[in-house]
């Protein structure tokens, strides 16, 4: 076999399976609860069953699939509740990161420049939001991601960074370009961008002043924008055709 045509370098089959399967899951290619039969899935991903198995174990720890008691793995269903809680957890962790950044007295915030750059870029983009809505959204998503990355780096905690990474990978836990840009047309979503920007400004200010408790609270609240976004999307019935991942969401209790 070894038809590694698609991979640029020599990527292990396991990584290939992991990446491709994760992408499929996040794209919502399966409905919640679907059994992931190994043989057809292996064929689809162009790997054999062994590396696929390894990928499934990894994805279980990422919370995207679930071990079926008697039979392999199934696509994990995502309850709204789960998403909201995950967002809240992300807020806690990023809040902690912001606090740690302040508490590290050793560095003189050399990294604040990066944060300011992102904030400025968003500020400029937002001025043209009515004429170039898509562009403003794209800039926001891009620079927002950088903002968060830099802030987490400032915390100087490898451990925390890892955890945030894990959480952020969960569906809808953090703004993803595919999801957000589906909402470009909604006025309410535009307003969310402005709110996010204003929060960024406040966060940078709090960091400058070394206001640890404040910046922690601000980051927590900032994370909750993801919740607001999701609620808007569900309210407005964003067509699931453009965001098939939405189909994974269930309202009620666990089924």
Partner DNA sequence: ATGTCTCGAATTGTATGCAGTTTGCAATCA
Partner DNA sequence: TGATTGCAAACTGCATACAATTCGAGACAT
Contacting positions for DNA (CB under 7 A): 1-2, 10, 12-14, 35-40, 47-51, 53-54, 70-72
- Shortest distance, position 67 Cβ to DNA, whole Å: 7
Contact partners, residue 170, CB within 8 Å, separation at least 6: 62, 63, 64, 83, 86
What six digits make up the tokens of 225? 């924008």
153 binds its own copies, rule: CB under 8 A: no
CA gap 32, 77 in Å, rounded: 5
Instruction: Decide whether 81 or 194 has the Cβ nearer to its own copies.
Output: 81
Q: Which stretch binds its own copies (CB under 8 A): 34-42, 77-85, 105-113, 125-133?
A: 77-85
Instruction: Decide whether 39 or 124 has the Cβ nearer to DNA.
Output: 39
Q: Exposure pattern of 227-245 as b/e (b: 16+ CB <10 Å)? A: bbbbebbeeeebeeeebbb
- Shortest distance, position 132 Cβ to its own copies, whole Å: 38
Summarize as ranges the residues that interact with its own copies (CB under 8 A). Answer: 7, 50, 53-54, 57-58, 61-63, 69, 81-82, 85-86, 88-89, 92-93, 95-96, 157-160, 162-163, 167, 254
């Amino acid at each position: 076999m070894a038809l590694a045509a698609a991979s640029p370098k020599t990527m292990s089959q396991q990584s290939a399976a992991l990446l491709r399967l994760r992408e499929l899951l996040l794209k919502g290619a399966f409905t919640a609860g679907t059994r992931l039969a190994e043989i057809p899935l292996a064929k689809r991903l162009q790997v054999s069953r062994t590396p696929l198995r390894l990928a499934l174990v990894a994805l279980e720890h990422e919370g995207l699939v679930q071990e079926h008691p008697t039979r392999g793995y199934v696509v994990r269903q995502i309850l709204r509740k789960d998403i909201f809680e995950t967002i809240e957890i992300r807020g806690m962790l990023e809040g902690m990161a912001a606090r740690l950044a302040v508490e590290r007295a050793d560095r003189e915030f050399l990294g604040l420049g990066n944060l300011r750059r992102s904030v400025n870029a968003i500020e400029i983009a937002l001025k043209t939001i009515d004429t170039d809505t898509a562009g403003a959204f794209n800039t926001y998503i891009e620079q927002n991601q950088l903002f968060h990355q830099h802030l987490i780096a400032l915390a100087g905690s490898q451990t925390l960074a890892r955890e945030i990474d894990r959480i952020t990978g969960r569906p809808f836990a953090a703004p993803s370009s595919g999801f957000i840009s589906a909402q470009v047309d909604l006025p309410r979503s535009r307003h969310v961008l402005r709110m996010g920007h204003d929060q960024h400004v406040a966060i940078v200010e709090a960091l400058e002043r070394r206001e640890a408790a404040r910046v922690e609270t601000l980051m927590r609240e900032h994370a909750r924008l993801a919740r607001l976004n999701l609620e808007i999307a569900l309210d407005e019935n964003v067509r699931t055709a453009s965001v098939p991942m939405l189909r994974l969401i269930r309202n009620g209790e666990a089924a």
